[in-house]
Amino acid sequence: MNREGVLYVISAPSGAGKTTLCKEIIDKFPNLRHSVSYTTRTPRSGEVHGRDYFFVGKEEFKRMVDAGEFAEWAEVHGNFYGTSLATLKECRSQGIDLILDIDCQGARQLKSRFEGGVYIFVLPPSIAELRRRLDTRSLDTAEVIERRINNAAGEIKESRWYDYIIVNDDFEVAAEQLKSVLIAEQCRTSRLLASLAATFDI
Ligand code: 5GP
């Protein structure tokens, strides 16, 4: 069936579990790809250039901004992050669905720029639980964790304009909910009409 690729935009405060959720569903949908962002953040141990992120210097990032190479970009927790416009356009035109793990500022930019995106917000069960998760994953320094917790309240306020909210208390349940959103969106009438018109008089 010929249809435009769907943009799934997923945001959450750091530590809510959105990256794990995205990893969990990516293999379940053969037509779904994870969008690899560009960032000026230094790689964490185990992160691979081109798989987790494209790690670039500030100069290169700025050059890309000036050249209009980003579909959206934002400064998050003191680092820059952006989504390649070329990749996004290519996937959409080839009918490949993309999942973008990006912050609320970037999500807002995409919402105003592209039609038909699906906006999903992942919430932790509470701020206390968010702090506990950030502390136990020990990926970041105490200072970075503090900054991320302070930013969380502002980010959570943004959830009100998203299409779906998933509360990640029990991971299995949250993963099922995310899968259900994707399945439902595949059946959305507006996405199917053009391709079905070849077979049916609708
Ligand atoms: P982290 O440094 O923990 O990988 O990501 C920090 C934040 O940056 C997360 O909220 C993540 O969703 C966001 N982020 C990652 N890539 C992008 C991007 O391309 N654009 C925007 N706007 N945010 C991003």
Question: What digits encode the pLDDT tens for the residues 7-60?
Answer: 999 999 988 999 999 999 999 999 999 999 999 999 999 999 999 999 999 999
CA of 51 to the centre of ligand 1 (A): 14
Ligand 1, atom 24: nearest CA belongs to which residue?
102
**Phi and psi based region of residue 77 (left: phi greater than 0; alpha: psi -120 to 50; beta: remaining):** left
pTM: 0.94
Is 109 inside any structural domain? yes
Dihedral sign for Cα 157, 163, 168, 169, please. positive
**For the chain, what is the domain count?**
1
Is 2 inside any structural domain? no
CATH number at residue 190: 3.40.50.300
The whole-angstrom distance between residue 85's C-alpha and the CA centroid of its chain comes to 15
- Cβ atoms of 57 and 164 within 8 Å: the answer is no
Q: Which of 11, 81, 99 to mutate to test the pocket of ligand 1 (most atoms within 8 A of CB)?
A: 81
74 is in which domain, residue-wise?
7-197
Residue type, 47: E
Is 74 inside any structural domain? yes
pLDDT tens digits along 83-101? 999 999 999 999 999 999 9
Q: ∠157-23-14 over CA atoms, to 5°?
A: 30
Is 1 inside any structural domain? no
Is 202 inside any structural domain? no
Measured CA to CA in angstroms, residue 134 lies from 6, 16, 139 at distances of 31, 9, 8
CA of 165 to the centre of ligand 1 (A): 18
Kindly tell me if the per-residue pLDDT of 1 is higher than 60: no
Is 32 inside any structural domain? yes
Ligand 1 site, CB within 6 A: 14, 37, 41, 72, 74, 76-77, 81-83, 101-103, 105-106
CA of 82 to the centre of ligand 1 (A): 8
CA of 146 to the centre of ligand 1 (A): 17
pLDDT tens digits along 104-159? 999 999 999 999 999 999 999 999 999 999 888 877 788 888 888 988 989 999 99
Is 189 inside any structural domain? yes
